[in-house]
Chain A
Amino acid sequence: MEKTVNNKAWFMVLPVLLLVAFTAVIPLMTVVNYAFQDSFGNNQFFWVGIEWFQELLASERFHDALVRNLIFSFTILAIEIPLGIGIALCMPKKGWGVPVCLVLMALPLLVPWNVVGTIWQVFGRADIGLLGYFLNSLGINYNYTQDPVAAWATVIVMDVWHWTSLVVLLCYAGLVSIPEAYYQAARIDGASRWAVFRYIQLPKMHSVLLIAVLLRFMDSFMIYTEPFVVTGGGPGNSTTFLSIDLVKMAIGQFDLGPAAAMSLVYFLIILLFSWVFYTVMNNAGTEKKQYAGEE
């Protein structure tokens, strides 16, 4: 069958193209444009080539923020993913417990991010905060404004509190989609609890886990609001992640060129990691493709 070519079709997609152009393409291109120029205000720009990129990639400040961000992302993934799976496995599958658990799980997700920050900022204070007061009265010197370890612990626990629910809900959705016959067959086959998890539950959660890891990685790698509210990136620079650093550079110091260059590198890093996660996890679950031609 021959396809009919009708050039009028382009007019039909024009509104969408314009919308995407104004909301995504043009702003992105502006950033690309800034990344190769220097500005002294007054809308005067000078071409500097790849100087900002060279400077950025050699900068210790960028390296430190990047390393901090990577440690943060991998730490919360290492906690939230197993914890989320564990909680999802413990949740009831029917009865009145289901809506109760689902609502409890969804609650943290409904709290605005800056409010989450404020909650934990107050919660952790040694004078009026429940957590801070309790820890200090136990003799633990907990002060997130002065101690980097306490600051890190607060930021990580806060993220786990805020986002583990997302992993739980995704895993739970995967778990409830498993037909009862699978569990029955496993009992007939004499499978252990571990074998049921390894060969029935985990494979069925595979695709939702992929989404969970990707979402949690991207979100945590771009984290800004909560640590900004709680620690402001401190003490010192100990909780200054890439996004906080970027905002300091772009808005605090108004270095548009270096900030634009950093934005692009930042964007490419997230893209790269997401692609790696996606490829690795997709291959781990489905090796069937190599057999596809066999039938």
Chain B
Amino acid sequence: MARIDLDHIRHSYLPNPTSPSDYALKEVNLTFEDGGAYALLGSSGCGKTTLLNIISGLLTPSEGELLFDGKPVTELSTEARNIAQVFQFPVVYDTMSVYDNLAFPLRNRGVPAAEVDQKVNEILKIIDLESKAKRKAQGLTADEKQKISLGRGLVRSDTNAILFDEPLTVIDPHMKWVLRSQLKHLHKQFGFTMVYVTHDQTEALTFADKVVVMYGGEVVQIGTPDELFRRPQHTFVGYFIGSPGMNVLPCEVDGTMARIGDHSVPLQCGLDPKKVAQKTEVGIRPEFVKLGGAGEGLPLTVNNVEDIGRYRILRGEMDGIALNAIVGEGESIPESPTALFDPTQTNLYADSWLVSEGA
């Protein structure tokens, strides 16, 4: 268990990177507190796995330093860092029994047999594979195999952190819930620092205390699920988190008003006149778009209404710009609807980054 600091970490898979686009991971400064449950969220190719492999030592970063509890470990080998990692596809040693699979990381480190036995039996109980301890790992189902991979990560009590690289990709949907709640439970029980990479927002939001959102090799926001939902720091966060994602509408800023097409909506704060922005946008979550009658708000053309049970998703457009709204149960959709934006939840983005009050 340890606090993990990433200090000016950059990585490129090219031998001689020159421009910023050569870097798979653009400068990352990040701290994972000891005992925290973190999720690294982002779309494919955003650098999540690169970052994870840098922490575990499978990759050496091109630049920057990695510290465990303040001690530099950038040059240390994977074994010496004492990290556990669970991969996307289950890795089991086919010819070994389930028991031996779990004992493998301990035996490699010369742990005495009695301790190995005690520890392995404990883990077998946790991952619920006691009845299959003696059989070969070959021929087990995908989720049983992934439980073994997970168990190998948990078996060492002195690991600095456990890293998960999209570990539930190959698992059946109903087992995903079971395994995820088991993970959450294990985190509470053992207090390991856990970093969980995923592109599934539900997984990230349910597992982690803090979510690190990555986009194009950069960390765009770190926050609790609630912060990510209410105050997305970057339009990508707004778009990526939430279903459907945040509406992003190009606008022109006039004081504390934003002009979208021929209409104006009030903002909480205006743009700093000293800053020059190439592109300004208004971001509002579909949850905070209310429907009004003709003349009350911005005129809206309804393209489609999806009823997904508890609420309906209205997919419409305004002057050719797509706009989604969530319509609650029992609420009716007016004949010629207009969109009303909740001013406290209307965010302004300059060059994709949130403009906040103080700035």
Contact = CB atoms under 8 A, between A and B. Distances in A.
Contacts of A285: 95
Interface string A271-295: 0000000000000011110011010
B105 interface: yes
Interface stretch (B4-12, B77-85, B205-213): B77-85
B126 interface: no
Nearest to B77: A187
A203 B94 contact: yes
B353 interface: no
A185 B139 contact: no
A288 B84 contact: no
Interface residues of B, number: 29
B170 to A, nearest CB: 12
Given A182-B91, A184-B87, A189 B104 contact: yes
B108 A189 contact: yes
Contacts of A181: 87-89, 91
Contacts of B56: 184, 188
Given A187-B58, A187-B78, A190-B105, A291 B88 contact: no
A185 B149 contact: yes
Nearest to B135: A291
Contacts, number: 64
Interface string A163-191: 00000000000000001011011011111
B108 A199 contact: no
B91 A185 contact: yes
Contact of B95 (A192, A199, A294): A199
B135 to A, nearest CB: 5
Given A190-B109, A191-B104, A288 B91 contact: no
Contacts of B85: 184-185, 188
Which of B77, B94, B96 has the most chain A CB atoms inside 10 A of its CB? B94
Nearest to B141: A295
Interface size bucket, A side?
20 to 34
A218 interface: no
A80 to B, nearest CB: 24
B136 A184 contact: no
A188 B108 CA distance: 11
A192 B221 CA distance: 40
A192 B104 CA distance: 11
B58 A184 contact: yes
A188 B94 contact: no
A189 B152 contact: yes
B93 interface: yes
Nearest to A195: B108
B108 A203 contact: no
Interface string B58-92: 10000000000000000001110001110111010
- 3 smallest CB-CB distances across A and B, nearest first, come from A185-B91, A190-B108, A189-B105
7 contacts: A181-B87, A181-B91, A185-B149, A195-B108, A199-B95, A199-B96, A294-B135
